A and B are shown apart, each in its own frame.
Chain A
């Protein structure tokens, strides 16, 4: 292991940190509606999701051959750029978490890498056609598909069960939600933990610690799986609140329809080779399920903020990644240390800010908004 340089060990640590933020950012995708409808108690939901994410990390042995699916020229990428890209992704994930916005962790990672590679290797290092083809078009299409499917499914559900006993219906769909939410969690584990493993493996190959073309060692699979599972279990309660309560007032049939739509879209597009964002698919599904029930309250303001966050995620993470990359490329080891310290400081500030108006397992369902500043009577209001 004497091949492992300081920079590569920094890449490994940052990659695991990103994996952790990925986990707690995305718990909401699978579990927010189940928590909001009472299908699962909050702590139970995040525990199930964490275990399934860990299982998913071990299930999928196919390693992504390229870290980015051809979005950047992998042969031009250095560990320094990967490090800078990861910093960009982590910082953006933390900012959106503080605001309670469900933004895409995959877009944050791609954005960070694009920014870092652009600065480090020049414009030719980024394949903009691939960006359009593999990120932007699926990003627009997938939530729409999930939304329309969830809308239709919700409509039929309420039509079919409108004369049936309400309690039986609610209970039946809550049970169904447990299955659909678990599938989303497992699919998430097989996809997202892979990305981190791919990044670490590439860094190890680049410094000669692993032979080119080799798969991830067991310790990489284990640490990446544990990082995402721990992040999932800790739970991004702020985002869970927004997705479960903030967009629509969701009932269990809607939750089931939204989760089924998300599962269907994620599985079919994974089979077709589209890389899409679990977050955006699930948000689209929830919105569709909200529109599908007559008289259901859809908070378009929150939905709009979310859409804005989706648009901004890639460029914002790219900007942070670009700044980090320029410091790392020109500053060498000192620059790397400075960027790592700066990122740690930003993370600490964000955690302190979040403490001023904490959202946790106990109060996640109490309100529909995620305040950043403590407002008087925030709990009493809606």
Chain B
């Protein structure tokens, strides 16, 4: 019997890191979006918050593209 505990641990760590990373960045993006709306409601432009949100969502979009790259074997 040859259980690949090393690979198993690696899967666990990478999955955990990727999940928490992507979800936290997305949550920051959503939070910035909400802050932008609030700023606008108070008469400010909220453009700084808007930019933060844009950066966060771009990072998440890249993660999705990387996921697609992993799923589609033609890219390898």
Contact = CB atoms under 8 A, between A and B. Distances in A.
B29 A172 contact: yes
Contacts of B33: 168, 172
Overall SS of chain B's interface: helix
Residue from B7, B19, B30, B34 with most neighbouring chain A CB atoms (10 Å): B19
A342 interface: no
B30 A59 contact: no
A141 B20 contact: no
Contact of A150 (B10, B19, B71): B19
A209 to B, nearest CB: 26
Contacts of B8: 137-138, 141, 274
Contacts of B72: 59, 190
Interface string B16-27: 101110111011
Contacts of B23: 153-154, 156-157, 256-257, 260
A75 interface: no
Contacts of B3: 132-133, 137
Interface residues of B, number: 38
B67 A263 contact: yes
B64 to A, nearest CB: 5
Contact of A164 (B12, B30, B68): B30
A176 B26 contact: yes
B49 to A, nearest CB: 11
Contacts of B38: 165
Interface of A: 56, 59-62, 129, 132-133, 137-138, 141, 145-146, 148-150, 152-154, 156-157, 160-161, 164-165, 168-169, 172-173, 176, 179, 183, 186-187, 190, 253, 256-257, 260-261, 263-265, 267-274
Interchain residue pairs A-B with the least CB separation, the first 6: A164-B34, A172-B30, A153-B23, A149-B19, A264-B18, A168-B34
